């Protein structure tokens, strides 16, 4: 187990370093960052001044090393737009995004697991078809459009929930539904497939033969085994959802890290953009790492791989 964890840690660190290189290199994809920051009406002297001030006149590997070293110490640079340290901008907003992500994954699990179990209990029944329909629709509906439809229905027509803002728990309801519905289909399908497979197993037949009730067999014996891959999928989905939060937070003007990312990119605020890509990637790496470890812990057969 220790060896397995160690190999995963090494992989995670290598991936993190590579991603940091890429997010740093993104700045150079725009050509000269000094010109981008200076704006359209800048004189050559302004540009030269900015180039020196931000350290763009140093060799690229030195700049990268400097940036990474500072980032590791929590110093992510200064936002050009807010003139404020990137870290102090990001942390409070990350709290909003994490809250949204947690609510959404809970919503997705509560929606998808029972649906998957019920669908697997009666394959090809109406309930199964209905669950499949909900899943297929969830994969095809653009999340920003669903968000707007919910705003029209619940904010404009019914007036039950606010359309935008971050002030109260009510602001989180609609974004949670949109983001959770986005994650639910994969969880539902995996639960259903896992249940169908587990229900074929000998120990289920034994349990039934012992005279245990159907419900007890389903939830105590079958679900416990079918849930193992779902747990790690949920962790991976959590990583993906932080990326999905960019779109959802923008629709609802929920002032989280995703909304900040969208605004910073629109404003060409490079340090914030770089830092957020890095942070979102780190979250993904962390959650997939967590998923791997959880998997290996729950299912010892996987450790050998």
Partner 1 sequence: MTTAVISKPLTPRRVMMRRALRHKGFLMAGTVLALIVLAAIFAPLLAPDDPYEQDLLARLQVPVYLGGSWDHPLGTDSLGRDVLSRLIYGARISILIGLIAACVSAVIGTTLGVLAGYFGGRVDKVVQFLINVRLAMPVVLVGLAVVSLRGGSLWVVTSVLGLLLWDRFAVVLRSATMQVRSMEYVAAAEVLGAPLHRVLFKDILPNVMNHLIVIATLEMAHAIILEAALSFLGLGVRPPTPSWGLMISEGKEMLLFDSWLIATPGLAIFVLVLCINMFGDAIRDITAPEGRN
Residues at the site binding partner 1, with contacts judged by CB under 8 A: 11, 14-16, 18-19, 22, 26, 29-30, 36, 136-137, 139-145, 148-149, 151-152, 156, 189, 192-193, 196, 242-244, 246-247, 250, 261-262, 265-266, 268, 273, 276-277, 280-281, 284-285, 288
214: Cβ contacts below 8 Å, ≥ 6 apart? 208
Q: How far is the CB of 210 from partner 1 (least distance, A)?
A: 28
Shortest Å distance, C-beta 28 to partner 1: 9
Closest approach of partner 1 to the CB of residue 35, in Å: 12
- The nearer residue to partner 1, 158 or 209, going by C-beta atoms, is 158
Q: What is the nearest approach in angstroms of partner 1 to the Cβ of residue 213?
A: 27
Work out whether the CA dihedral 218, 221, 226, 232 comes out positive or negative: positive
List, in order, residues 6 or more apart from 30 with CB less than 8 Å away. 36, 270
* Residue (145 or 220) nearer to partner 1, CB: 145
- Please say which residue, 106 or 153, places its beta carbon nearer to partner 1: 153
Nearer to partner 1, 107 or 252 (CB): 252
CA distance 169 to 96: 11
CA distance 39 to 5: 48
Count other C-beta atoms under 10 Å from residue 191's C-beta.
27
Nearer to partner 1, 103 or 163 (CB): 163
| Residue 238: how many other CB atoms lie within 10 Å | 23
- SS3 of residue 78 by DSSP: strand
Whichever of 35 and 212 has its CB closer to partner 1, that residue is: 35
Least Å distance between CB 32 and partner 1?
A: 11
Q: Is 271 exposed, middle or buried (0-12, 13-18, 19+ CB in 10 A)?
A: buried
Q: Kindly tell me which of 130 and 136 has the beta carbon lying closer to partner 1.
A: 136
Give the nearest distance from C-beta 196 to partner 1 in angstroms. Answer: 7
**Cα separations in angstroms, 52 against 57, 62, 77, 78, 244:** 6, 14, 15, 15, 37
* In the complex, least distance from residue 177 CB atom to partner 1, rounded to whole angstroms: 16
Q: Which H/E stretch holds residue 226?
A: helix 223-252
């Amino acid at each position: 187990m220790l060896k397995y964890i160690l190999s995963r840690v090494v992989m995670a660190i290598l991936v993190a370093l590579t991603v940091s290189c890429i997010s740093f290199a993104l700045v150079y994809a725009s050509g000269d960052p000094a010109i981008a920051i200076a704006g359209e009406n800048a004189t050559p002297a302004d540009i030269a001044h900015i180039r020196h001030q931000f350290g763009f006149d140093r060799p690229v590997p030195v700049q990268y090393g400097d940036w990474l070293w500072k980032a590791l110490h929590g110093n992510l640079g200064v936002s050009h737009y807010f003139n404020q340290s990137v870290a102090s901008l990001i942390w409070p907003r990350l709290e909003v995004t994490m809250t949204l992500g947690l609510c959404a994954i809970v919503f997705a699990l509560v929606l998808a697991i029972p649906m998957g179990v019920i669908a697997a209990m009666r394959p090809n029944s109406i309930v199964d078809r209905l669950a499949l329909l909900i899943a297929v629709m969830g994969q095809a509906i653009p999340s920003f459009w669903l968000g707007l439809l919910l705003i029209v229905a619940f904010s404009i027509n019914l007036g039950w929930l606010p359309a935008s803002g971050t002030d109260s728990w009510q602001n989180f309801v609609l974004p949670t539904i949109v983001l959770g519905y986005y994650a639910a289909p994969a969880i539902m399908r995996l639960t259903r497939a896992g249940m169908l497979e587990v229900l074929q197993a000998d120990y289920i037949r034994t349990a039934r033969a012992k005279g245990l009730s159907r419900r007890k067999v389903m939830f105590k014996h079958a679900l416990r085994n079918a849930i193992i891959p779902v747990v790690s999928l949920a962790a991976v989905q959590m990583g993906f959802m932080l990326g999905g939060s960019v779109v959802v937070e923008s629709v609802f003007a929920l002032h989280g890290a995703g909304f900040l990312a969208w605004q910073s990119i629109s404003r060409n605020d490079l340090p914030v953009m770089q830092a957020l890509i890095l942070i979102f990637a780190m979250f993904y790496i962390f959650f997939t790492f967590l998923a791997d470890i959880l998997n290996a812990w729950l299912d010892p057969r996987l450790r050998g791989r």
